Chain A
Amino acid sequence: MLKINSLVTSYGSIKALKGIDLEVPAGSIVSLIGANGAGKTTAMKSLVGIIKPQSGTIVFQGQAIQGWPSHKVVGLGVSLVPEGRRILARMSVLENLEMGAYQRQDMEIQADMEKVFSRFPILAERRNQLGGTLSGGQQQMLAIGRALMARPKLLLLDEPSMGLAPLVVAEIFRVIQDINREGTTVLLVEQNVRQALKIAHYAYVLETGKIVLHGTAEEVAHNPRVMEAYLGGAKGMK
């Protein structure tokens, strides 16, 4: 569904991505893991056109989309749940969700909104509250709900577990799995390597702008280097 070939992205003279290759098959969950500063968020931002990549190709469903402006990428069916959630703080929960469906013209927007509310009942309770008044976990739910309102074929999630309590994290990951089972392909960027590998089908490990390892989630989870560096030693993954 999504194929990235030798993608290079720079901030000024600093190369944040030094030619990464990545493939997301339709219907799967792919995790891109790595430490702080490895280039995970840069990869996401390059995908959706927030940053223009220097070279390389991004092909989504047979169409080269590198360098496209964000709103056109959204139109193809790619939605991003950005790092730090990026809720519209001065707009209500309802308005945030409406903005998620911004490019849609069909009559089922209302029905989809009800679906989001049944997935996250807390959002239904707070539908008229301003986005900025929600807690971190609720904001994450709103960010995911907002992205789903666009009916994406590919959902990109950038660090959805960041700063959340363990129980909320478990809930979020359960929802991501549900979304995937309902037919949406997922590319997940995470520092919470254990959780990310648990729900993923395939995984890529990013270190200082390069993919150093990739394979099925199982293989990556049992790689000694990954166990050492990300899962707290050889005994980490039982």
Chain B
Amino acid sequence: MFWQQLVNGLTLGSTYSLVALGYTLIMGVLDIVNMAHGEIFMFGAFTGLILASHFHVNIFVAMLGAALVGSLLGIILERVALRPLRRRAVSHLAPLISTIGVSIFLESVALKVFGPESQAFPQTLAGKIYTIGPMQISLVQVVILAVAFGLMLILRFWLARTKIGKALRATAESTETAGILGVNTNLIIVLTVSLASGLGAIAGVLVGLTFNAVEPTMGMSMGLKGLAVLILGGMGNITGAMFGGLILGVAEVFSVAYGASSYRDAVAFGMIILILFVRPQGLFGAKDQTGGR
């Protein structure tokens, strides 16, 4: 029972981690919360669903398509809702409001285009179930775990080792400093938002597979969970987002498994509140992010 629930929790948690990574990347570079992230996640889920059910493509191709649509939405979001505000150097609340606007817009478009009812992925992956020791793991879970952890590993490596990844980290520390070192910071910002949105869109497909349900309102609740993970892990901390997502997923699944299914969100978020009492800066957040300046 325990091991089985752990696998289920990690599967769910890894999708939360991917969503939270999107918030974290944007938070790190732009210091804002992108409230439209959940809706881009939802568009990703629908893109994957349409590709899989109407065009009968392989699930990985569907994810790739979702990622492309997500990135494109991210680029548009940056152009329409973020850049005009950045140029005028207004308060941090302004992009918060403008991204809420985008999120409402996207949800309405989805309701109109896709309809309000929940839709399911075609059952091509569902059948197979593997038994490993005490655990049973379905093919869908294997795919979700592999994609989510794979993407997180690639992202970590990319940020740590590549030139563009380093430029992204430099921009996250200080846009001004990155600029005087020769980084085209506007380009890095566009790249960050589209990367975050692409990851969110893939997470949308994964969550759609997990619950076998895709609906226009799924962005809202997932968005809130992603936000909670962002805070739990420590604002703008990549490692924090990864572990935070896993913790939230495991906590949710265990609260269902051990008898409190109607309180799953209450247990999970209650635990986050408790952790934040002890570590207000989040699990991996540093107290002083500015370092020795």
Contact = CB atoms under 8 A, between A and B. Distances in A.
B280 interface: no
Contact of A102 (B163, B173, B291): B163
Contacts of B186: 69
Contacts of B177: 82, 86, 88
B113 interface: no
Interface residues of B, number: 23
A74 B291 contact: no
Nearest to A70: B179
Identify which of B183, B186, B290 gathers the most chain A CB atoms within 10 Å of its CB. Answer: B183
B186 to A, nearest CB: 8
Contacts of A70: 176, 179-180, 182, 185
B181 interface: yes
Interface in B150-185: 163, 166-167, 169-170, 173-174, 176-185
A146 interface: yes
B179 A71 contact: yes
B1 to A, nearest CB: 42
B293 A85 contact: yes
Contacts, number: 87
11 contacts: A70-B179, A71-B179, A82-B176, A85-B293, A86-B176, A86-B177, A90-B173, A91-B173, A95-B166, A130-B291, A134-B292
Contacts of A134: 292
B183 A102 contact: yes
Contacts of A74: 180-182
Given A132-B291, A133-B292, 15 more contacts: A69-B186, A70-B176, A74-B181, A80-B180, A86-B293, A87-B293, A90-B291, A98-B163, A99-B170, A102-B163, A102-B182, A102-B183, A130-B291, A132-B290, A150-B181
Identify which of B166, B167, B181, B292 gathers the most chain A CB atoms within 10 Å of its CB. Answer: B181
A84 interface: yes
Identify which of B167, B182, B289 gathers the most chain A CB atoms within 10 Å of its CB. Answer: B182
Contact of A82 (B180, B182, B290): B180
Contacts of A146: 181
Chain B interface mostly: helix
A91 B169 contact: yes
A69 B179 contact: yes
Contacts of A85: 293
B184 A69 contact: yes
A89 B291 contact: yes
A99 B292 contact: no
A48 interface: yes
Given A88-B174, A90-B173, A91-B173, A100 B181 contact: yes
A131 B169 CA distance: 13
A71 B291 contact: no
A110 interface: no
A160 B180 CA distance: 16
A60 B126 CA distance: 65
Contact of B173 (A50, A88, A100): A88
A28 B182 CA distance: 24
Interface in A113-153: 130-136, 139, 146, 150
A96 to B, nearest CB: 9
A224 interface: no
A80 B290 CA distance: 20
Interface string B170-209: 1001101111111111100000000000000000000000
Contacts of B182: 70-71, 74-75, 102-103, 150
